Structure formats: structure tokens, C-alpha cells
Chain A
């Protein structure tokens, strides 16, 4: 790289999650879930929770840093940032922003956090509660384009049309996630295996997306703790380093995800990683074929597929051949994907559970462990702007 970057300078030293619930089944409020995940991550790191002095979240998180820091009686609050953008597009960006705060010297110990209680608050799978549809939305919502699946579905349709993608490629992603969830007791879909027949017979939410192509709606919380790389060994003998990260958008992807300008983006059939992925790889000093395991956000399986293609993990003309469950499942697949079950089958914790699983893989602690995993790619929500992606490694100086 021509200039200094974040590569290898910040480490994840702790991860924490609450139990994951189906929407509405959490016995606790969203804020309580948030506190529980943060305390779990601090315990995992061996960090005194009162030493956390930085917060980073995304998607207009309701659990604000000032309340958390007061309730947890933190010694100092030195940094609190929110990644722009709704949905899970900003999840990996929130980790990168946390790392940037440490690297800049603003703070020492950052928690990246996300909590959701869709029972307490609104459901993502229903129409946005708007009495009228102003501006951008007026050209979309009166036609029944109201939910996330509907806002993003036509980009997937167009991509499938341009590249001749068959339904089996989407199905392979769902099958891989569900297969991994069967080995993961934390997964909401643990004990609920999915077969190709079940997938084929399942109802459409909106064509081309079947029920099993769409993320779950869940309650829970997740958190991870970041410190400067040189401090990492104080806390863990398995630090996981950030090697590269990128957050943003290709040109003119729209003022509002799913608004009418979104549908007038010059490049429409994109998950919005075409500018980000090369930047993250360059920063990390790796190539796509150095990636050992991938955790890629599934709002909808079609977007996941597009994100993987845009990260150089499969050529567009090889999609139907490559996207089969055998290639996507640990331990022997060519590209083990979403090894905890992901948003589809573990929990929709807005993708932060995917970053945690990436860390777990590099610690050798996954329930679907990829042997000798050294590089984990974690991709935030596709089909939105800004989107984000991050690359983790076991070695701060990894140079494959």
C-alpha cells in the first residue's frame, strides 16, 4: 500500500452473544440484551467492562453509548460512532470504525455492538410504518414495494437474468447455512434441517425469493471487543487481527436504499461491492484465493451470491456450477460459507454474528471448523449503500 493503513494494527480479543430467539420470544428488553452481550464479550476478553471507553454500532442502533456507559459505570467515554446507513450494510464498517478510533488514539478499548428485539420494536419483514410515502418512497410504496425483500428483489432478478443464474444457486446458499446450523446449538434453526425438496416446495415471499432465501427475524444481541494489536496478548492467546476493511458505495447507487433513485443506479445488478472488495483485498495484501472461510451477510440469498461474485470468489459464468452445497460447506468445501448458519439459520443479529463466527474460525473454535483457517472474509449487507466488508487474519503480518 502506498500509505499507512489499519492492516494488522487492531485485534479482536473478545466476542459475546446472548441466547438467540425467534422474534418476540426474548424474555428481556433490547437494552438488557445489549448489556448482556457487551458483558459477555468483556468476560471473553478478560477485560474489565469498566475499561471499555469506545462504542461503535450501525443501522441507527437504539442502544446509545451514553446510556450504556452510564449503566455500566465506565471510567471514561472517549469515542462513540455510528455507521451511516440502515440495515446490515454497515456491520463490518462498524468494526472498521471502532478500529479507526483505536488507531487514531481516541480510545483504547472499543466495543462493537448490536442488539435487536423485533418483538419489542418493529418487524423488518413487514411494511415500514409510514402513513404517507414522501418523495423517493412515493414512486415505490404505492405499488406494493414495501418490505426489504421487495425493495431489493428486482436487483437480484436482474442479476440472475444477466448471468443466467438458476434457482439452484440460491438454494445452495440456504442449504449450506441450514446444514451448518445443525451443528450449532446456538442456532435458532438447530434441529430443523432443510432439504432441497423442502426448499423447492416452500412458498415464495417474492419471486425469485423463497421463504428460505430470506433472513430470519430475531431477538438477541452480539458484541466484540477491539484493542490495539500490541495489547492483544494481554487479553488472549488467540488474537484475531483486522487486515483490511472497506465501507462505502459504487457511484450513484441511490439516495435511499430501495427508493426510486436506488432503482436508477447506473449499475443496477450489483450487490455494491465492486469498489469495496478490491480496496479491502489490497489493504490486506491478499488475493481472493487466499480466503479460507467466508461469512457473508444474507438479507436474501441472491444478494449473498452477488456479493461473493463481486469479491472475486466465483466468476459470473461459473455460478451455476460452483454454487452447490458441497462447495459451500465445512470442512471440505472449496468455499465454506456462513459456518454458524448465518442470518438464515443461526440468527439475524444484523450480521454481527457473522463477524463473530469469522473470529471463532480463526481461533479454531467453530462448530463447523475449517482446518487451519488463517484468513476469514466477512461481508456486510449486500444490495445497499453504504455496504462494508472486512478481512480478519490470525497473524498481524500475514503475507500468504
Chain B
């Protein structure tokens, strides 16, 4: 566990939806595992989690572990703080990562390392687990170049 997080504390903490979507994902990240929702009937990956399979309409959905390897599909570098807790954290990089071994689903995270580094679409990255301790601990999935 570490207090050394990419963005300072104070942003809204992730919680599952009122329907419970995301519960399994956030439980898995606590154990430093990356999982993606997958239809147990037609085997289609989907993200974000939904209550039925968007592909076949099936209701037998599960979560399966994936490698945590992906490529940068898009990105942005935020320079203007839009939240009080970010005032001393600018700039920061956000990446949209495509997971090759999970049906090309895309996840958002921060790109670790130099905040002013050049970023290129198509570059390979891997998941890094960032623990946020506290009364309601959670673990974010971040990304670093490989």
C-alpha cells in the first residue's frame, strides 16, 4: 500500500452503480487483478459493465481476468484544473487504452511518468495498480509504457 498516487486525494471515489454494476471489478482491483465483464453464453467482452450482454441479450454475465496489456487508443493532457483538489497537480495525462486480449474494450486511466512526456496513439502500455487506502479503500488501474 502506498500514499503515492498520481492525482491527489479529493476527487470523487469510484463506487459501483446503484444496480451493483462494477462491484466485481473494484473487488478484483483491490487484489491487483484486472477483470472485464464477459458474456458466458456468446463469449463477448463488454465494457463498461451492463446488466445484459449487448451482443446476444444474454443474462449470464461474468468477469474474467485479462493480461493488463494494451495500446493507447487516444489521450489528452489536462492543463486547466477543474476541481479544487487538482490545483497543484497540473498537467496530467489521461489515456484511453484498448485491451487487445479483451475484445478491444477500452479503459481510461492516467499515463504514469513524466507529465509532459510526448504521447502517441498506438504505443504499448501495461496496467499498474494504484492503491488508495482510507475508510473506503479502492485501487485504481493506471498505465505505464512498456
**Residue contact A144 to B14, C-beta cutoff 8 Å:** no
Interface string of A110-148 (1 = CB under 8 A from B): 000000000000000111001111111111111111110
Q: Interface of chain A, helix or strand or loop or mixed?
A: mixed
Residues A264 and B80 in contact in the complex (CB < 8 Å), given A134-B18, A139-B22: no
Contact partner, B80, options A130, A204, A255, A261, Cβ 8 Å: A204
- A138 contacts which chain B residues (CB < 8 A)? 13-17, 22, 26
Q: How far is the CA of A207 from the CA of B50 in the complex (A)?
A: 31
Q: Which of A93-101, A149-157, A227-235 contacts B (4 or more CB under 8 A)?
A: A149-157
Q: How far is the CB of A386 from chain B (nearest CB, A)?
A: 18
Q: How far is the CA of A153 from the CA of B91 in the complex (A)?
A: 15
Interface string of B72-87 (1 = CB under 8 A from A): 0111111110110010
Residues A161 and B121 in contact in the complex (CB < 8 Å), given A143-B109, A143-B140, A263-B106: yes
Interface string of B99-136 (1 = CB under 8 A from A): 00000011111100000000001000000000000000
**Residue contact A126 to B82, C-beta cutoff 8 Å:** yes
* Listed A/B pairs (14) with beta-carbon separation below 8 Å: A135-B22, A137-B12, A143-B108, A143-B140, A144-B110, A146-B82, A146-B83, A154-B75, A157-B74, A204-B77, A207-B77, A207-B78, A264-B106, A268-B73
A206 contacts the other chain (Cβ, under 8 Å)? yes
- B107 contacts which chain A residues (CB < 8 A)? 139, 260
**Residue contact A144 to B78, C-beta cutoff 8 Å:** yes
Chain A residue, CB-CB nearest to B96? A154
Chain A residue, CB-CB nearest to B89? A144
A interface residues, Cβ below 8 angstroms from B: 125-127, 130-147, 149-150, 153-155, 157-158, 161, 203-208, 252, 255, 259-261, 263-264, 268
**Residue contact B16 to A153, C-beta cutoff 8 Å:** no
Chain B residue, CB-CB nearest to A266? B104
Q: How far is the CB of A267 from chain B (nearest CB, A)?
A: 13
Chain B residue, CB-CB nearest to A153? B76
**Residue contact B76 to A139, C-beta cutoff 8 Å:** no
Q: How far is the CA of A264 from the CA of B96 in the complex (A)?
A: 10
- A205 contacts which chain B residues (CB < 8 A)? 78-80
**Residue contact A143 to B110, C-beta cutoff 8 Å:** yes
B interface residues, Cβ below 8 angstroms from A: 7, 11-19, 21-22, 26, 46-48, 50, 54, 73-80, 82-83, 86, 89, 91-92, 94, 96, 105-110, 121, 138, 140
Q: How far is the CA of A138 from the CA of B29 in the complex (A)?
A: 13
Query: Nearest 7 pairs between A and B by C-beta?
Result: A135-B17, A138-B14, A260-B48, A133-B12, A154-B74, A127-B83, A147-B82
Residues A125 and B82 in contact in the complex (CB < 8 Å), given A144-B7, A158-B121: yes
Contact partner, A135, options B18, B89, B140, Cβ 8 Å: B18
**Residue contact A150 to B74, C-beta cutoff 8 Å:** no
Q: How far is the CA of A158 from the CA of B26 in the complex (A)?
A: 28
Q: How far is the CB of A19 from chain B (nearest CB, A)?
A: 28
Q: How far is the CA of A260 from the CA of B50 in the complex (A)?
A: 11
Residue from A149, A155, A157 whose CB has the most chain B CB atoms within 10 Å:
A157
Residue from B17, B19, B46, B83 whose CB has the most chain A CB atoms within 10 Å:
B83
**Residue contact B13 to A206, C-beta cutoff 8 Å:** no
Residue from B7, B50, B78 whose CB has the most chain A CB atoms within 10 Å:
B78
- B18 contacts which chain A residues (CB < 8 A)? 134-135
- B16 contacts which chain A residues (CB < 8 A)? 134-135, 138
**Residue contact A206 to B76, C-beta cutoff 8 Å:** yes
**Residue contact A260 to B11, C-beta cutoff 8 Å:** no
- A141 contacts which chain B residues (CB < 8 A)? 11-12, 14
Q: How far is the CB of A87 from chain B (nearest CB, A)?
A: 16
Q: How far is the CB of B4 from chain A (nearest CB, A)?
A: 16
Contact partner, A139, options B14, B74, B91, Cβ 8 Å: B14
- A161 contacts which chain B residues (CB < 8 A)? 74, 121
**Residue contact B48 to A135, C-beta cutoff 8 Å:** yes
- B46 contacts which chain A residues (CB < 8 A)? 264
Residue from A143, A203, A252 whose CB has the most chain B CB atoms within 10 Å:
A143
Q: How far is the CB of A117 from chain B (nearest CB, A)?
A: 20
- B11 contacts which chain A residues (CB < 8 A)? 133, 141-142, 144, 146
